[in-house]
Amino acid sequence: MTLELLEGHPVHRLASRYYDRDLRIQPVRHDPLYASTLLRSPTHPPLAVGETIADLSGPVFGHLKPGPLDNDLIGNFASGGLALGERIIIHGTVQDQNGRPVPETLIEIWQANAGGRYRHVRDGYLAPLDPNFSGCGRCLTDRDGRYTFKTIRPGPYPFKNGGCAWRPSHIHFSVFGATFTQRLVTQAYFEGDPLIPLCPIANTIKDPRALRTLVATLDMSAAIEFDALAYRFDIVLRGRHATFFENRTEGV
């Protein structure tokens, strides 16, 4: 492989460095309060590295045409009825640290039903399955980085952690961003849930301000009359340092 051949990659010249991930706002990896981390957290700190293929590019899903019900979890598994529970909209924006919207990026969500049970072959919790609810949704952000899902508010559920441990109501979010460096998997909690301060998983994030950014807030302006309450959950992915390439300004 010669260098001339390699130099034909316009995407490489466009890429500029991302801000380093601020590990102080991230969850700790090893946390005695969350038992599953004990044998699953590497003992070496994550190694700083220069540019990787994650900075250069990432998977694109613009060709993916999500179905009309992919972001409607009340309807996308309906078999003769609708999902049980408190009907909600969860919506927001995806932007980078420089405040630029992230358009056409794939968001996937998964969640328990109103009773706190997941539709998963491995979940055996007492609460029954809802025949009309899968807990699986996805959508692409629009050109302004906005997304919206219609769903039901998931119930809390207990989990094995040694002792009486309960998850607050939460929705799992997976977001891609423009390059793999921006990849994010996280969880959205609900404003006012008294289980949040008690949850060993939520509290792997030690910075209270950072944890607050994972709490979706009641947003009556987006509620639908006689249909659904609304919660707002905005997402911020890593941003890039400013640089100029091919007459385009990147970053601030």
Partner 1 sequence: MLPETPAQTAGPYVHIGTFPYAAGLTIGWNARLHELVRDKEPGEHIEINGMIYDGGNAPVTDAMIELWQADTNGGFHRSSFPGWGRAVSDFTTGEWTFRTVRPGPVLRRDGSVMAPHIMLAIFARGVNGHLSTLMYFPDDPDANSRDPILSALEPARRVTLVAKRQPNAEIHSYRFDIFLQGDSETVFFNI
Active site residue 172: yes
Active site residue 118: yes
How many other C-beta atoms lie within 10 A of the C-beta of residue 35?
16
Q: How far is the CB of 131 from partner 1 (least distance, A)?
A: 13
Q: Looking at residues 144 to 173 of the shown chain, list those that interact with partner 1 (rule: CB under 8 A).
A: 172
Closest to partner 1 by CB, 41 or 227: 41
- CA–CA dist 171, 201 (Å, integer): 13
Q: Looking at residues 102 to 141 of the shown chain, list those that interact with partner 1 (rule: CB under 8 A).
A: 108-110, 118-123, 134-138
Count residues binding partner 1 (CB under 8 A). Answer: 94
- CA–CA dist 91, 184 (Å, integer): 17
Q: Is 191 in the site for partner 1 (CB under 8 A)?
A: no
Q: Which of 119, 146, 172, 232 is catalytic?
A: 172
Active site residue 44: no
Closest to partner 1 by CB, 12 or 223: 12
Q: Is 210 in the site for partner 1 (CB under 8 A)?
A: yes
CA distances from 181 to 108, 173, 186, 237, 249 (A): 17, 16, 15, 9, 19
CA-based nearest residue to 58, from 20, 98, 11: 11
CA-based nearest residue to 235, from 170, 178, 186: 186
Among 84, 204, 229, 232, binds partner 1 (CB under 8 A): 204
Closest to partner 1 by CB, 2 or 221: 2
Q: Which of 167, 189, 231, 240 is catalytic?
A: 167
CA distances from 252 to 50, 56, 99, 222, 234 (A): 21, 19, 9, 30, 20
Active site residue 241: no
Q: Looking at residues 21 to 60 of the shown chain, list those that interact with partner 1 (rule: CB under 8 A).
A: 21-23, 25-29, 31, 34-54, 56-60
CA-based nearest residue to 107, from 79, 74, 136, 80: 136
Closest to partner 1 by CB, 216 or 228: 216
